[in-house]
Chains A and B, each alone.
Chain A
């Protein structure tokens, strides 16, 4: 029999369903807890796909009303130069 293919939950960081399961077994009860243990949601898309999937996995263990997303803005990438330039214009 062929080996079971890994199911990727967080594509950016290549974190699999098994990795997330292990994190939950280790005591993670929030997206942030899963993130600290696996690195999921920390890639370029900042959890836009995997956050929902992780929340669904957590839902079996936690009352979903209590889950705090722990999102760390910006939700979309920003160029450093644009942040700094904005300030220079304001000062003119």
Chain B
């Protein structure tokens, strides 16, 4: 198979398919290449939360809020059941120290125009049953939502195909072709595809793809283990995180120095309920290379922490556990943009645990930057040079 395309996208996760859809919508000829199948990486092994509260005030939150707008009508736009539900969400606060941190974050988010407030223990208990007595309270925002990430990926891919995009599965990119530091295409396990623009959306595997073009990017795989319970009647109010989840996300160093095995594994609570009734309980944040196995210790520590905060779930049965690799960057923001040294090589990866929340807006930003050379958001924060 030898083909030609205006743009080649590498990676069939939620970011790659969203970009394929957005570029196709604007009339670009796109070929997406995926080494496995759709949503085979982090997009198919994550929780389902589109939580805005976990985003830091600034461009990060601005992106999430724009995504939230797009999500409201996305199901109709893609004509695919993506199970979007605007449920609202809360961040559970266990200690006084966490309360101080969350008060600071909430104040900044409010100034940014985001609808969020702090609740005391009693107010929080009215929203969610089964909470522990010792909790300080929680935050609450009506703007959080959730979605089925696999349906979302498939929905984007199918909508892109209807607009003329080609999606090639079970085909691995083995090389990036360039002449005089200018992209000319990709080599795959099934022939070459000629193209002047290549977009790297390979998530946790993006560093290996970038390396083929001679570029180093500071993305690392970070493992998240998640537990699924049996189907139960509606119980979880929407998206629930714990304040420690926020700490684990932004301060990995603090966690390293702890003796608590749960803290060492980066355990924070992410609790939500799927449409069919299964409750998802996550997650760890571990640096263990590309190992996607589930560990007894990880599962145990998640459940210990989850039942300490929400004892109401103790009697449920778990039916499935899994782990996925989030593409971690040192500052929690993705790398988006053309690379300076290789003309035509574009990066769109490194969303860590925000891939689902930020996929729609990432698709818009990338298609803007590629077609118009500018976008509605300050894209300098995504520049790879910030890590130098």
Contacts and interface: CB of A to CB of B under 8 A. Distances in A.
B314 interface: yes
Interface string A15-38: 000000000001111101100110
Contacts of B317: 77-80
Interface in B24-72: 37-40, 44
B315 A80 contact: yes
Contacts of B315: 79-81
Contacts of B316: 79-80
A72 B319 CA distance: 9
Interface string A34-56: 00110100111010000000000
Nearest to B34: A27
B349 to A, nearest CB: 20
B37 A46 contact: no
Contacts of B167: 27
B280 to A, nearest CB: 12
A33 B169 CA distance: 11
Contacts of B276: 13, 39
Contacts of A84: 300, 303-304, 307, 314
Contacts of B217: none
B320 A37 contact: no
A73 B321 contact: yes
B230 interface: yes
A87 to B, nearest CB: 6
A33 B39 CA distance: 9
A81 B318 CA distance: 10
Interface residues of B, number: 34
B230 A28 contact: no
Interface string B306-327: 1100000111111111100000
Interface of B is mostly: mixed
Interface residues of A, number: 27
A80 B320 contact: no
Contacts of B118: none
Contacts of B230: 44, 77
A36 B313 contact: no
B251 interface: no
Given A28-B37, A36-B150, A44 B319 contact: yes
Nearest to B44: A36
B229 interface: yes
Contacts, number: 84
A37 to B, nearest CB: 6
B91 interface: no
Contacts of A80: 229, 303, 306-307, 313-318
Nearest to A83: B303
B37 A72 contact: no
A42 B150 CA distance: 13
Contacts of B37: 27-30, 32-33, 36
> Which of A30, A42, A86 has the most chain B CB atoms inside 10 A of its CB?
A42
Interface in A57-77: 72-74, 77
A14 to B, nearest CB: 10
Interface in B287-316: 294, 299-300, 303-304, 306-307, 313-316
Given A36-B38, A83-B299, A84-B314, A46 B320 contact: yes
B154 interface: yes
B231 interface: yes
B318 A72 contact: no
A72 B28 CA distance: 39
A72 B322 contact: yes
Given A28-B37, A77-B318, A80-B307, 10 more contacts: A13-B276, A42-B278, A44-B231, A44-B319, A74-B321, A77-B230, A78-B318, A80-B315, A81-B314, A81-B315
Interface of B: 37-40, 44, 150, 153-154, 158, 167, 169-170, 229-231, 276, 278, 294, 299-300, 303-304, 306-307, 313-322
12 contacts: A27-B38, A42-B320, A73-B294, A74-B319, A78-B317, A80-B229, A80-B303, A81-B307, A81-B315, A83-B318, A87-B300, A87-B304
Q: A-B pairs with the 5 shortest C-beta distances? A: A77-B317, A33-B37, A36-B150, A81-B314, A72-B322
